[in-house]
Amino acid sequence: RDTGATIADAAKKNGAAAVEIGPVDSFSFGRGGEIIDGVAGEVLAAAFKLEEGEESEATEFADKSGYYFLSVTEVIPPAPMPLETIAAEVEARWRAADRDARVGAVVTKITDALAKGAPLAEAAAPFDRAPQPAILTRRSVNDTFSQELLDQIFAVAKGKSVSGRTGDGAQVIAVVDEIKFGAAPIGPDQIAAFGRFIGNQFDRELIDAYAYAVREDFKVKINKTLIDTQFAEAP
């Protein structure tokens, strides 16, 4: 660098490589709105403090992992992006926002009608919509029912309604008409065996309770040492 060589030439002479990046703004976005990867935030911040044609001195990274040099070859003044380059994106965003606003207004009107006691079919009829019955479980995730929407549905009481987005951005209004609890995931033999086990446990508890009551009533004393001696194995 002291000989007047450029950063690229000096890097090459010392076995390193200079990396050219840009155009890029202070938020790491390129001219077309794409994200420019590979630029540390501290390096980008330092670059925007330099003038066009200016080079930095050796600067150590904050994490002490090495040093970097900067050379700003061109500064592009801020300006609105040409309409022809963003027209399609602007139109798509406007249409999406307009659709969301319209759908949101319909959802609000339907949910207001439901809150006043109207059946779902009646509340949706003015908007040319008809209820579609569905039997759901907590695992019924699909393009229509997201996990978030299912969690809302299973959190409300019978007769209540919830709304949420589908996978493609549309809106769903769900009314819980009926709640059924799933059958136990075990067979009848297992249920019978469990019943016998509970019965045996219950009988054992009754016997133990009766024996304890008798001992208490008649002041029965148990000499455990004598019992152990009587039933001990002979030498």
175 pLDDT more than 90: yes
The predicted structure's pLDDT at residue 87: 85
Give dist(CA 115, CA 123) in Å, integer: 10
Give the span between the Cα atoms of 102 and 104, in whole angstroms: 5
Read off the amino acid at residue 125. A
Is there a contact between 160 and 184 (Cβ–Cβ < 8 Å)? no
Q: Tokens representing 96?
A: 């999406």
Give the integer Cα–Cα distance in Å for 70 and 18.
9
Average pLDDT estimate for 180-202: 72
Taking the CA atoms of 164, 167, 170 and 175 in sequence, report the sign of the dihedral they define: negative
pLDDT tens per residue across span 82-119: 778 778 888 888 998 898 899 889 999 999 999 999 99
Residues linked to residue 58 through DSSP beta bridges, in sequence order: none
Average confidence score pLDDT of the chain:
82
CB atoms within 10 A of CB 145: 19
How far, in Å, CA of 144 to CA of 166, rounded? Answer: 5
pTM over 0.95: no
* Identity at 78, one-letter amino acid code: P
Question: What is the pLDDT, as a whole number, of residue 233?
Answer: 57
Confidence of residue 174 (pLDDT cuts 50, 70, 90): very high
The yes-or-no verdict on residue 230 having pLDDT over 70 is no
DSSP state of 81: P
Any residues with CB less than 8 A from the CB of 44 and at least 6 apart, and which? 24, 26, 28
Residue 123 has pLDDT above 60, yes or no: yes
Identify the pLDDT of residue 35.
83
DSSP conformation class of 127:
G
Please answer whether residues 166 and 172 qualify as being in contact, where contact means their C-beta atoms are separated by less than 8 angstroms: yes
Span of 23-37, 96-110, 184-198 with lowest mean pLDDT: 184-198
Q: How confident is the model at residue 2 (pLDDT cuts 50, 70, 90)?
A: low
At residue 185 the predicted structure's pLDDT band, cuts being 50, 70 and 90, is: low
Average pLDDT, integer, range 180-185: 69
The per-residue pLDDT for 31 is 75
Q: Three-state SS for 71? A: strand
- Higher pLDDT pick, 156 / 22: 156
What tens digit of pLDDT does each residue of 35-94 get? 888 888 898 899 899 999 888 888 898 898 888 889 898 898 887 777 787 788 888 889
Sign of the Cα torsion 225, 230, 231, 233 reads positive
234: pLDDT strictly greater than 60: no
